[in-house]
């Protein structure tokens, strides 16, 4: 169906038909505009219309996708950074010329510097952008080339647990980092969930904590152990003179600062291959060792599928011996 609009002394024509990208052109004469539209529609009806290559670049799409889509996401900072990386490597390529071969070369280059998991996240941004551009922006390509690129085998999930004496070494950290570590071990919360804690989220009477922003976008309320309650009270006392506003987060750390401080702590004590996120794994395993069932653990940790917990559960044989009697 053709639409003709007058723009000053010129006429803009748009032709829309299922299976084709919207085609538009501008003419000085309405009769010429109508003739052009009729010819385009005729070619489309006879499947003879050849759609011109879309000259929009990957970089232009990434810029629009970042401002219109990524900006509204909770993980916008990390996603924006990945979009910038994609722009550096692929930004000058026209979307119509973005082939699986070119994406494959990008894959091979990135795997020299990042893990397969990180690469998968970057390609996820690229694939999501292309799908959005096809559906919402009428970009003239028929298939998402990312779907035709093979990805490296993903490594098995980490199963690092704390060894004897390692927790004591971690607890030599400075006061605020130490509290973050204790909360991670006592609650199984993710780094971002801990850093978003506000005073209004804590119910000291019921010993519970509301987590309104989660990775799965499902708020949850978790029970708090006596150790968790104690460190939250300590942090509140320490931050009252610095943070008088009720709705300000309790902890001053930014996510990347937690990672850096934790890495320095591990290096100082020669704790190999230990990440802050491993504390969530440790906490989850401890919940099982205390006798909680998968549904109870999932209620605390926020896993939507209890079967996913099996990856986090590594019960020590010596602890099972004690329970067997």
Q: Which of 191, 280, 281, 286 is catalytic?
A: 280
**CB atoms near residue 246 (< 10 Å):** 8
The answer to which of 17-26, 73-82, 190-199, 258-267 has the lowest mean pLDDT is 17-26
Is 94 within 8 Å of 55 (Cβ atoms)?
Answer: yes
49 tagged catalytic = no
303 tagged catalytic = yes
What is the rounded CA–CA span in Å between residue 202 and residue 224? 9
Q: What angle separates helix 76-90 from helix 116-136, to the nearest 10 degrees?
A: 90
312 tagged catalytic = yes
Is 229 within 8 Å of 237 (Cβ atoms)?
Answer: no
What is the rounded CA–CA span in Å between residue 79 and residue 224? 32
Q: Which of 121, 201, 277, 314 is catalytic?
A: 277
Q: Quick one: average pLDDT of 148-152?
A: 87
pLDDT-derived band at 96 (thresholds 50, 70, 90) equals: confident
Q: Quick one: average pLDDT of 59-83?
A: 88
pLDDT-derived band at 53 (thresholds 50, 70, 90) equals: low
Q: Which of 38, 55, 105, 215 is catalytic?
A: 215
190 tagged catalytic = yes
What is the rounded CA–CA span in Å between residue 300 and residue 222? 5
Q: Which of 21, 190, 191, 281 is catalytic?
A: 190
pLDDT in tens, 26-42: 788 888 888 888 888 88
Cα three-residue angle 252-245-249, rounded to 5 degrees: 30
| 58-148: CATH architecture | Orthogonal Bundle (1.10)
In terms of Cβ atoms closer than 10 Å to its own Cβ (0-12, 13-18, 19+), residue 16 is: middle
- What number does CATH give the domain 166-324? 1.10.443.10
What is the rounded CA–CA span in Å between residue 224 and residue 187? 7
Helices H, strands E: what count in the chain?
13, 6
322 tagged catalytic = no
Which residues lie across from 252 on neighbouring strands? none
CA nearest 178: which of 73, 276, 271?
276
The DSSP output letter for 305 is S
Q: Quick one: average pLDDT of 302-319?
A: 68
What is the rounded CA–CA span in Å between residue 298 and residue 303? 5
Q: Quick one: average pLDDT of 204-231?
A: 90
**Tokens representing 56?**
């929009």
Strands in 208-211's sheet, in edge-to-edge order, are: 202-203, 208-211, 220-223
pTM: 0.61
Q: Where are the domains of the chain?
A: 2-45, 58-148, 166-324
Integer-rounded Cα radius of gyration of the chain: 27
User: What is the pLDDT at residue 244?
Assistant: 45
201 tagged catalytic = no
Longest Cα–Cα distance of the chain, Å, equals: 94
């Amino acid at each position: 169906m053709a639409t003709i609009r007058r723009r000053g002394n010129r006429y803009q024509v748009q032709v829309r038909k299922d299976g084709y990208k919207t085609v538009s052109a501008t003419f000085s004469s309405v009769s010429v505009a109508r003739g052009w539209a009729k010819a385009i529609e005729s070619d489309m009806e006879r499947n003879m219309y050849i759609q011109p290559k879309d000259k929009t670049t990957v970089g232009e799409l990434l810029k629009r996708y970042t401002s219109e889509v990524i900006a509204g996401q909770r993980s916008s900072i990390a996603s924006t950074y990945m979009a910038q990386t994609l722009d550096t490597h692929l930004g000058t390529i026209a979307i119509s010329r973005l082939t699986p071969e070119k994406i494959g070369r990008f894959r091979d280059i990135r795997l020299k510097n990042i893990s397969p998991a990180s690469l998968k996240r970057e390609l996820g941004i690229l694939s999501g952008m292309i799908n959005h551009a096809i559906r919402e922006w009428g970009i003239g390509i028929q298939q998402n080339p990312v779907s035709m690129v093979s990805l490296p085998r993903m490594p098995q999930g980490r199963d690092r647990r704390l060894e004897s004496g390692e927790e004591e070494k971690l607890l030599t950290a400075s006061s605020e980092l130490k509290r973050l570590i204790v909360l991670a071990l006592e609650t199984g919360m993710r780094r971002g969930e801990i850093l978003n804690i506000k005073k209004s989220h804590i119910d000291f009477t019921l010993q519970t904590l509301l987590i309104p922003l989660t990775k799965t976008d499902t708020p949850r309320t978790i029970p708090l152990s006596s150790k968790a309650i104690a460190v939250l009270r300590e942090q509140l006392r320490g931050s009252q003179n610095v943070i008088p506003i009720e709705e300000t987060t309790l902890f001053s750390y930014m996510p990347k600062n937690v990672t850096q401080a934790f890495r320095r702590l591990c290096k100082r004590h020669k704790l190999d291959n230990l990440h802050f996120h491993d504390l969530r794994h440790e906490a989850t395993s401890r919940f099982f060792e205390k006798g909680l069932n998968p549904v109870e653990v999932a209620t605390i940790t926020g896993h939507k599928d209890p079967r996913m917990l099996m990856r986090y559960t590594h019960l020590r044989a010596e602890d099972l011996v004690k329970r067997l009697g």
